Structure 1
Amino acid sequence: MRTTSASTRAATYRDLMDVVVAGSHGLLGNALLEALRARGDRVRRLVRRQPQTDSERQWDPASGDLDPRHLDGAHAVVNLGGAGVGDHLWTAGYKRTVLESRTGPTSLIAETLNSMSEPPPVWLQASAVGYYGDRGDTVLTEDAGPGDGFLAGVCERWEAATSPAEQKVRVVNLRTGIVLSPEGGALARLLPLVRLGVAGPLGDGRQFWPWITLADVVDAMLHLLDSDVSGPVNMTAPEPVRNRELTSALAEGFHRPAVLPVPELALRVALGEFGGTLTDSQRAVPRALLADGFTFTHPSVSDAVAWLV
């Protein structure tokens, strides 16, 4: 049963869980670990280096090494790993890194779960709204098909990599939108510009940006661990907004102007092919979460901005 936030989910109202988390060193991973421990759950971290604590287990996705004993007795597995899509220019080599850093570890987890006689019953697997490609003003629920483009192809293959485990465990593909957090993430580059008053719409600003706050995405993961939902889940707020509206709301929250648009050509010159994806439009809505009774702490962009500021 879910209450108002992760921090208030008291362990006395539910059974404690033992959760194995891979890809736990990023923004989402660290926040999820904190929330799991706050509600009393036990956490095992899959790490690629030598373990440094009793809660860490070593694996090596590059060589296909994952000891099934690392997953024995767990109630759930969460995999959030993958190379950052905006960290480097999209050369052919880095595109391969983006794809293989997602499909390789995911396939290894799927095959390991499938090989176990009693695997953990739940697997939350990262994906992204990039699955939908550039879809304009079309409202996108979880039954919408994949779009075109590099990121859509990556997400489609990423989700397909879970298939070996789907007959044995409840698999949830987390199609996560743009995560808003004062600690970094998607706003790490934008917020300094907003504070300086030199931010503005990207391209014409009409593209829908499916956003969600860090607090809500973590709380949604906790909710999905405890629920019966399976398949793709849009991890986005119920009120997607256009890029120009989000930028304007952020600027207003920081009492700054937001009047300097960034032409799409400039994005492509500065960021290469990735820059072009910043003007893609995905009007994704969280139908699966809402149907399962999830309540957002920050359902509107004004709620999100108040929390960020």
Structure 2
Amino acid sequence: MKILLTGATGFVGSALVTLLAPQHELMIVSRDPSKARQKLGHEHQYLASLDQLHHLNEIDAVINLAGEPIVAKRWSENQKQKICYSRWDITEKLSELIAASTTPPHTFLSASAVGYYGRQSQLAIDEQGIPHPEFSHEVCRVWEEKALAVADKTRVCIFRIGIVLAAHGGALAKMLPAFKFGLGGPISDGQQGMSWIHLQDLLRLLQFLLSHDECRGIYNATAPHPVSNAEFSKALGKALHRPSCLPAPAFALKVALGEMAELLTEGQYVLPKHALADGFEFRFNQIDEAMTDLFQR
């Protein structure tokens, strides 16, 4: 299968390249093809921009992971625009290329995030959950609309990603230094939901969506058992054999991070109802078994 992939040099994207490369031909879009080639290998085709393409007639599937990291910098108005348009523009361009194709790709997998739902207090929600209107929801809402615009031309699957767990990258890698020194703990009261997924399960889910023609629509890319922030902190401390009882006060986070602190002090308990209904089986269902796999091999 010939696959067009955006966001390939990111944390999830680079792991996906490793998974797909043995069986598929990859065309990778990167702003710096030479740097991407050094990281991902010389056997793939590289493009500096989608503007080099006029259609996707010879592409079998598109996987869209591109976007400015949402926690890279404090949310100034300029940074908010980067977060939005780094996702919206490339997704819109992909949809335009699919629409312009006489033999379009049969599958379009496009990322989103559980931030679509906004803050949900203690409510457990699936793909039918009613979102709370805020910045994270608006980013994801428009992002998804731009991909779903070509649902009449190709099979579109939107995967709303939770907190991706891996020892070498993502949100967990940012938490590790404090926890390894015994300085980790819950954020605020620790009751906010943390909808997580082991990196290997996320990759397996994307492979599942890619290969099952009956799959389409919205999928929560989260493990079946979301936990509170306090439970998450306890599981991480246990896996590292470190205490995890020092709380991070909400006001201090708001001073340090501004509006972005809401990603940490608010949350969601998100359930992957659609993936389970379609027959996908998670290898890591519980937070303790996921942490054990990552840190006690």
How does the TM-score come out when normalised to structure 1? Answer: 0.90
**Structure 1 residue 213 displacement after superposition:** 0.8
Residues 25-104 of structure 1 aligned to structure 2 (within 5 Å): 25-38=9-22, 40-50=23-33, 53=42, 55-60=44-49, 65-68=51-54, 71-104=56-89
1:165-223 CA deviation, whole Å, 9 max, x = no partner?
Answer: 11101111110000010011011211111111100101100011000011110010000
Equivalent position amino acid for 2:94 in 1: I
Residue 210 of structure 1 aligns with which residue? Answer: 195
RMSD of the TM alignment (CA)? 1.4
Q: Which runs of 4+ in 1 moved over 4 A?
A: 50-54
The reply on whether 1:223 has 2:212 as its aligned counterpart is no
The reply on whether 1:308 has 2:291 as its aligned counterpart is no
The reply on whether 1:264 has 2:250 as its aligned counterpart is yes
Matched-pair contact (CA < 8 Å) for 2:186–2:248: yes
Distance 1:279 1:50 in 2: 37
Matched-pair contact (CA < 8 Å) for 2:57–2:102: no
**Structure 1 residue 60 displacement after superposition:** 2.8
State the number of aligned residues: 288
Residue 4 of structure 2 aligns with which residue? Answer: 20
Residue 260 of structure 2 aligns with which residue? Answer: 274
Residues 150-169 of structure 1 aligned to structure 2 (within 5 Å): 150-169=135-154
Distance 1:112 1:287 in 2: 31
Matched-pair contact (CA < 8 Å) for 2:161–2:220: yes
Distance 1:296 1:242 in 2: 20
Equivalent position amino acid for 2:225 in 1: E
**Structure 1 residue 59 displacement after superposition:** 4.4
Structure 2: which 5+ residue stretches go unaligned? none
Structure 1: which 5+ residue stretches go unaligned? 1-16
Matched-pair contact (CA < 8 Å) for 2:8–2:65: yes
- Report the CA distance shift for 1:121/1:306 in structure 2 as closer, same or farther (over 3 A): same
Identity of aligned residues (%): 35
Query: Which of residues 218, 230, 234 in structure 2 aligns to 1:248?
Result: 234
Residue 9 of structure 1 aligns with which residue? Answer: none
Query: Which of residues 61, 84, 103 in structure 2 aligns to 1:118?
Result: 103
**Structure 1 residue 305 displacement after superposition:** 0.7
- Report the CA distance shift for 1:66/1:290 in structure 2 as closer, same or farther (over 3 A): farther
**Structure 1 residue 279 displacement after superposition:** 1.5
Equivalent position amino acid for 2:217 in 1: G
- Report the CA distance shift for 1:297/1:50 in structure 2 as closer, same or farther (over 3 A): closer
Q: Secondary structure at the match of 2:255?
A: helix
Distance 1:133 1:139 in 2: 12
Query: Which of residues 180, 190, 197 in structure 1 aligns to 2:165?
Result: 180
1:256-299 CA deviation, whole Å, 9 max, x = no partner?
Answer: 10111001111111111111221112110101111111111111
Residue 116 of structure 2 aligns with which residue? Answer: 131
Matched-pair contact (CA < 8 Å) for 1:114–1:164: no
Matched-pair contact (CA < 8 Å) for 2:194–2:268: yes
Distance 1:152 1:207 in 2: 17
Query: Which of residues 270, 280, 287 in structure 1 aligns to 2:273?
Result: 287
